[in-house]
Homo-oligomer: A and B are copies of this chain.
């Protein structure tokens, strides 16, 4: 395609309906998906991007590398359970882990706003560095830009990561098959509710702590136990469990059934969700994985996850079905069924 022909293409998102970017375009729900599917995917069309993974898979010599990027714009930048620095490491390490990869190296790109207190930067840099050390992946390359006052919000951080995918592992959202079990590695909605509690000044905020954590060793244990029988991995960040499972259902053209009473949820999170009128299925996690595993290896997979300190509350929460392809359906505690859609607006802006 020549330059001329590309630049003659009409904007693939109807401008009359969506004249400008809105916060919901960054929320991880329906508008984010529209932006990716209608604008980014056609523009950047290539084989790796088409797998619609949390990261790309690069073939290098005999091996395979996972490659992922994530920008962090969370507000506030310090929160119960972490800060923008540690989150920037965990987010990218987890994206690599969801490709089945162990992290090899990270990059860090800082966009600082003029006026950011020097000691806040120092605290964030230390936190990011410490998180990387705990993970065992060096911050191998970096960049710093400064924007004028009023053109940023203190600090934004982009991290990217490169990881090594072990032989024999093939994780992809398209691999979800009817019969597969859906496992979640622990209690959901903790990150989003921790952020929300700080923003809203909820009285019980001290009980609400982000789950921000690196999942690569948990995933390594899972892959040791269930290997090629692990079909899909996904960390349910923006848009929560519902958006992650909807994306998988759409990619694999399958249905997914969930049981509400099986989904691990802490009391404080449940209470805060009720007060704020939020559905925990749509609230962001930063230290949880969804794993879709063949039925014969689901128990072994669950046991492996539970052996990890971050996976003690793991549970099988549903299964992949041939019915209602591309839809996620939940059976409630009282026996009713409802479709669990993608997030359609912006529930919690700047959650990561």
Binding site for B on A (CB under 8 A): 1, 3, 6-7, 9, 11-13, 15, 18-27, 32, 35-36, 39-40, 43-44, 46-49, 53, 55-56, 58, 60-63, 65, 67-73, 104-105, 107-119, 121-123, 125-126, 128-130, 132-133, 138-148, 150-153, 156, 158, 160, 162, 164, 349-350, 352
Q: How far is the CA of A184 from the CA of B151 in the complex (A)?
A: 35
A160: contacting residue among B117, B146, B160, CB under 8 A: B160
| Residue from A24, A65, A160 with most neighbouring chain B CB atoms (10 Å) | A160
Q: 8 closest pairs, A vs B, by CB? A: A26-B146, A56-B140, A69-B107, A158-B158, A46-B138, A160-B160, A43-B129, A11-B122
* Known interface pairs A6-B130, A39-B125, A140-B48; A25-B146 also in contact (CB < 8 Å): yes
Q: How far is the CA of A112 from the CA of B68 in the complex (A)?
A: 19
* Known interface pairs A73-B145, A122-B11, A147-B350; A116-B160 also in contact (CB < 8 Å): no
The distance from the CB of A113 to the nearest CB of chain B, in whole angstroms, is 7
Please indicate the chain B residues that have their CB under 8 angstroms from the CB of A123 in the complex: 7
Extra pairs beyond A48-B138, A158-B160 (12, CB < 8 Å): A11-B122, A21-B113, A21-B121, A26-B146, A36-B142, A46-B140, A49-B139, A69-B109, A143-B158, A145-B352, A148-B349, A152-B153
Q: Decide: B141 and A67 in contact? CB cutoff 8 A.
A: yes
The distance from the CB of A117 to the nearest CB of chain B, in whole angstroms, is 6
Please indicate the chain B residues that have their CB under 8 angstroms from the CB of A22 in the complex: 114, 146
Please indicate the chain B residues that have their CB under 8 angstroms from the CB of A18 in the complex: 118
Q: Decide: B146 and A40 in contact? CB cutoff 8 A.
A: no
Q: Decide: B107 and A71 in contact? CB cutoff 8 A.
A: no
Please indicate the chain B residues that have their CB under 8 angstroms from the CB of A40 in the complex: 125, 142, 144
A104: contacting residue among B49, B58, B110, B140, CB under 8 A: B58
